[in-house]
Amino acid sequence: MWHQRTQEIDRMAESRAKEAKTAPAAVNMRGLKCPLPVLKTRKLLSKMTPGEVLVIECTDPLTTLDIPNLLRETGDMLVSDSKKGRVLTFRIRKA
């Protein structure tokens, strides 16, 4: 079940990343635990072109550390981050 869920997230995210030229891709990673949100974010960013925007929604509190650290490594830009209830949202622009 877990493997099917991650495959489904990958397929949806890749499809949305392709459409990102007109609108930001929003990827629901709620319920995934470290290191999956950052690994999937890295994979998605590697397939994007400069200027595209990716929106990540997570519930793992460690992403508040992991996503900014990933972006320092990749050189991509954290446009904004927010928290509403348990949901952490990161808006990332591909460099």
**1-10 tens-digit pLDDT:** 556 667 777 7
Can you state the percent helix, strand and coil of the chain, rounding each to 5? 40, 25, 30
Question: Residues 12, 26, 34, 39: which is the catalytic one?
Answer: 34
Give the structural domain span for 73: 2-93
CATH of the domain at 36: 3.30.110.40
Count up the domains in the chain and report the number: 1
34 is catalytic: yes
pLDDT above 70: residue 75: yes
Q: What are phi and psi of 85, to 5 degrees?
A: 65, -125
pLDDT for 32-74, tens place per residue? 999 999 999 999 999 999 999 999 999 999 999 999 999 999 9
CA dihedral 4, 53, 86, 61 (to 10 degrees): 80
pLDDT at 74: 97
